[in-house]
C-alpha cells in the first residue's frame, strides 16, 4: 500500500518542531536540580534519616515520629543538636552525624540525664532533711572545717594504736583528699567506724561534713546499722526513728531486726511500713531478706507474718521487676516456702531463668532430699556462673544433711562448668565458693587445690583466712598459709585491709591471739600508706577492728 507524500511530510515537520522546542518547554515545567533534591529529601524515606530521628527523639530534641523523612522539624532538630555539640550547623543528615550521635551524643545525653536525676534526688533529700526537726541541723552551712593531722601524728598513733587516735587520724587524713566524691566516701567509712565505737555524737558531726545530701540520709541509715551490729540496739532504734526518708528508714529497721530478731516491735513496724513504700520492688527485696533471716533463726510466727505481708506486696509488682521477684523467690526458698517460691518463679518465666532464685530453689530441693528436682532447677540456668553457684549451694545443702558423697558429686559438677565462666573475677569467686564447701566437708587438700586455681591474690588470701577462722585446730598451719598468701598481694592497702578483716573474723571465732597478730600485720602495712584517700579508709577500718577485741 503506498503512502501519501503530503501526510509523510506533515509528520516529519511536527516531529522536527517538537524536537526543536522541547528544551524551552521542559524549562517551564521541571524544577532546578537543587530544588528537586531538596523536595525529594523532604518526602523520600531514608534509613539514615530514620536512625538519626530515633537519636533525636532519645535526646529530647524531636517529638517524632521517626518516619525516615527529612521534615522541617527534623532539620530544625538536627540544627539544634549540631549547635549544642559545637558542630557545623547545616541541618543535613549524613553518616558522620550518625556516628557522632551514637558515641558522643548518647554519652552526653546519658550524662545530662544522670545529672538531672541526681539534682532531683538531692532536692528530695534536702526537703526530707529540712522537713524533720531531728535532721534539720545536718543542713547547716557553717560546718566546722576538718582538722588536719600531720603525718608524724598519724605515725605516732600507729606505733601504739587505739580507737580514739585512729579515728582522729582518719578524720585528719580526709582533709588531704581533693575530690569531693572521694572525700564523701571516706567520711562514710569513718561514720560507720564512729558508730561501731559508740561515738554517736562524733558520728553525727562527721555526717555534717558530707557534701552530697543523699549520702546524709544513707549515712544515718548506716550509722543505725553499725550501732545495731555493735549491740547498741536501743540507740540504733532511736536513731532509726529520726530518719525522714521512708526507704532509708526501712533499711535501717531491717538492720536492727537482723541484729535482734526477737524484737517483735521492730518486725511489726516493718510489716506496717513496707506496704507504704512507693518503690514496691524495693519493699519486696527488704521483706525477702527479713523473711529469710527470721526463718533461719527459727522465728516461725514472725516469719509467717512477714510472708503474709509479701503476698500483699506482690499484687503491686510488675512481672518486669525481675530482680525483686528473683530476690523474693530466693527468700521463699531459703524460708522453706516451696510452693510460693515455685509460684514466683513461674511469674519470672523464661526471662527469669538466669536469676539467683533458681540457685536457692535448687538448694532447698536438695535439703528436702529431692535431688532430681534440684538438678532440674539448676539445669534451667543457662549462665555458667549461676549454674556453678546453684551446684555449690546444692553441695552445701547436702553437707547439712551429712550426705558427704552426694555433696562431693555436686561440687564436681560445679567444677566442670567453671571453665565456661568468661569473666575472670566471676571465675575466681566460683572457685572460692567451691573451695569453701570442700573445706566444710573436712577435705582440706581438695580445698587448697581449688584455691590454687584462683588468680586474684586478694580473693585467694581472703578464702584462706576464712578457713583459718573455721579451723578446728588453731595450730593447723592455716594461719601461716593465709599470712604468706596475704604478703603476696600487690596493693599495700589491699594487704592492710585483708589483714584487718582477717583479724575481725578471727576475733569473732574467739581466736583472740591470732586476731591480735593479724591486726599487728595490718598496722605494719598501714604505716606505709600516705595517700589521704587510702589512709583515711584503712585507719577507720583499723579502729573498727579494735572494737571486736
Q: Identify the band that residue 114 occupies on the pLDDT scale cut at 50, 70 and 90.
A: confident
Contact between 305 and 277 (Cβ < 8 Å): no
* Alpha helices (H) along 260-383: 264-273, 280-296, 300-314, 322-334, 338-348, 356-367, 371-379
pLDDT at position 177 over 50: yes
CA dist list (Å): 249 to 81, 287, 288, 360, 428: 43, 14, 17, 28, 35
Cα dihedral: 402, 405, 406, 409 (round 10): 140
Note the pTM of the prediction, 2 decimals: 0.79
At 45 the three-state DSSP class reads: strand
- State mean pLDDT over 510-516: 94
| Structural domain spans, the chain | 7-33
Mean per-residue pLDDT of the chain: 86
Q: Give the closest residue to 60 by CA, choosing from 85, 84, 77.
A: 77
Q: What is the pLDDT of residue 145?
A: 60
pLDDT at position 414 over 90: yes
Residue 309 exposure: Cα atoms within 13 Å on the Cβ side: 27
Q: 528544551: which residue's cell?
A: 23
- State mean pLDDT over 531-545: 96
Q: Which three cell numbers stand for residue 489?
A: 598481694
| CA separation for the pair 73, 231 (Å, rounded) | 64
Identify the weakest region by mean pLDDT among 63-72, 115-124, 504-513.
Answer: 63-72
pLDDT at position 263 over 50: yes
What's the angle, vertex CA 57, arms to CA 56 and CA 58, rounded to 5? 90
pLDDT at position 29 over 70: no
Identify the weakest region by mean pLDDT among 29-33, 141-145, 447-451, 524-528.
Answer: 29-33
CA dist list (Å): 33 to 30, 43, 70, 71, 84: 9, 16, 18, 19, 32
Q: Give the closest residue to 144 by CA, choosing from 211, 206, 198, 217.
A: 206
Q: Please write the tens of the pLDDT for every residue from 354-406.
A: 678 888 888 888 988 889 888 988 888 888 999 999 999 999 999 999 999 99
What is residue 490's DSSP assignment?
A: S
Contact between 215 and 188 (Cβ < 8 Å): yes
Backbone angles phi, psi at 123, to 5 degrees: -65, -40
| CA separation for the pair 310, 316 (Å, rounded) | 10
Q: Please write the tens of the pLDDT for every residue from 336-360.
A: 888 888 888 888 776 556 678 888 8
Q: Give the closest residue to 289 by CA, choosing from 263, 315, 261.
A: 261
Q: Which residues pair with residue 45 across a beta bridge?
A: 69
Q: What is the pLDDT of residue 352?
A: 55
| CA separation for the pair 378, 182 (Å, rounded) | 41
Q: Identify the band that residue 141 occupies on the pLDDT scale cut at 50, 70 and 90.
A: low
Percent of the chain with pLDDT over 90: 53
Q: Give the closest residue to 488 by CA, choosing from 511, 454, 513.
A: 454
At 549 the three-state DSSP class reads: coil
Identify the weakest region by mean pLDDT among 14-18, 335-339, 519-523.
Answer: 14-18
Beta strand residue intervals within 494-546, DSSP E: none
| CA separation for the pair 383, 353 (Å, rounded) | 9
- State mean pLDDT over 508-524: 95
| CA separation for the pair 526, 465 (Å, rounded) | 19
Amino acid at each position: 500500500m503506498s503512502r501519501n507524500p503530503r501526510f509523510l511530510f506533515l509528520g516529519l515537520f511536527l516531529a522536527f518542531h517538537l524536537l526543536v522546542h522541547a528544551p524551552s518547554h521542559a524549562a517551564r515545567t521541571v524544577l532546578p536540580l537543587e530544588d528537586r533534591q531538596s523536595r525529594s529529601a523532604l518526602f523520600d524515606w531514608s534509613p539514615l534519616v530514620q536512625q538519626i530521628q530515633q537519636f533525636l527523639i532519645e535526646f529530647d530534641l524531636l517529638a517524632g515520629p521517626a518516619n525516615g523523612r527529612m521534615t522541617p522539624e527534623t532539620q530544625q532538630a538536627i540544627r539544634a543538636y549540631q549547635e549544642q555539640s559545637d558542630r557545623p550547623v547545616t541541618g543535613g543528615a549524613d553518616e558522620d552525624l550518625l556516628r557522632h550521635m551514637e558515641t558522643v551524643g548518647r554519652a552526653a545525653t546519658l550524662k545530662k540525664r544522670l545529672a538531672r536525676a541526681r539534682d532531683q534526688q538531692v532536692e528530695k533529700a534536702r526537703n526530707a532533711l529540712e522537713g524533720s526537726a531531728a535532721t534539720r541541723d545536718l543542713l547547716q552551712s557553717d560546718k566546722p572545717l576538718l582538722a588536719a593531722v600531720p603525718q608524724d601524728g598519724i605515725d605516732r598513733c600507729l606505733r601504739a594504736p587505739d580507737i580514739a587516735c585512729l579515728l582522729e587520724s582518719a578524720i585528719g587524713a580526709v582533709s588531704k583528699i581533693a575530690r569531693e566524691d572521694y572525700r564523701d566516701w571516706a567520711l562514710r567509712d569513718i561514720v560507720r567506724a564512729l558508730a561501731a565505737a559508740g561515738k554517736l555524737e562524733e558520728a553525727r558531726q562527721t555526717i555534717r561534713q558530707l557534701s552530697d545530701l543523699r549520702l546524709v540520709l544513707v549515712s544515718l541509715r548506716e550509722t543505725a546499722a553499725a550501732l545495731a551490729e555493735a549491740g547498741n540496739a536501743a540507740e540504733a532504734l532511736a536513731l532509726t526513728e529520726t530518719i525522714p526518708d521512708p526507704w532509708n528508714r526501712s533499711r535501717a529497721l531491717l538492720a536492727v531486726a537482723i541484729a535482734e530478731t526477737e524484737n517483735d516491735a521492730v518486725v511489726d513496724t516493718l510489716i506496717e511500713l513496707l506496704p507504704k513504700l512507693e518503690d514496691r520492688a524495693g519493699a519486696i527485696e527488704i521483706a525477702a531478706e527479713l523473711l529469710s533471716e527470721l526463718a533461719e533463726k527459727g522465728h516461725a510466727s514472725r516469719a509467717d507474718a512477714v510472708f503474709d505481708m509479701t503476698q500483699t506486696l506482690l499484687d503491686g509488682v510488675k512481672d518486669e521487676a525481675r530482680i525483686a521477684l528473683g530476690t523474693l523467690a530466693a527468700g521463699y526458698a531459703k524460708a522453706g516456702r516451696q510452693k510460693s517460691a515455685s509460684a514466683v518463679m513461674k511469674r519470672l518465666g523464661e526471662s527469669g531463668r538466669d536469676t539467683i532464685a533458681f540457685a536457692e530453689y535448687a538448694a532447698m530441693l536438695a535439703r528436702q532430699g529431692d535431688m532430681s528436682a534440684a538438678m532440674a532447677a539448676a539445669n534451667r540456668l543457662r549462665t555458667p556462673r549461676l549454674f556453678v553457684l546453684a551446684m555449690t549451694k546444692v553441695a552445701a545443702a547436702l553437707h547439712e544433711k551429712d550426705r558427704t558423697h552426694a555433696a562431693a558429686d555436686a561440687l564436681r559438677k560445679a567444677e566442670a562448668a567453671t571453665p565456661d565462666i568468661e569473666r575472670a573475677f566471676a571465675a575466681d569467686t566460683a572457685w572460692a565458693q567451691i573451695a569453701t564447701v570442700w573445706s566444710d566437708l573436712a577435705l582440706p587438700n581438695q580445698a587448697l587445690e581449688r584455691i590454687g586455681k584462683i588468680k586474684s591474690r586478694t580473693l585467694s588470701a581472703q578464702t584462706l583466712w576464712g578457713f583459718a577462722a573455721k579451723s578446728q585446730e588453731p595450730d593447723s598451719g592455716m594461719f601461716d598459709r593465709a599470712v604468706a598468701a596475704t604478703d603476696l598481694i600487690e596493693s599495700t592497702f589491699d594487704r592492710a585491709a585483708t589483714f584487718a578483716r582477717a583479724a575481725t573474723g578471727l576475733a569473732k571465732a574467739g581466736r583472740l591471739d591470732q586476731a591480735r597478730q593479724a591486726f599487728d600485720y595490718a598496722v605494719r602495712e598501714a604505716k606505709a600508706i600516705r595517700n589521704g584517700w587510702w589512709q583515711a579508709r584503712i585507719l577507720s577500718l583499723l579502729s573498727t577492728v579494735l572494737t571486736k577485741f
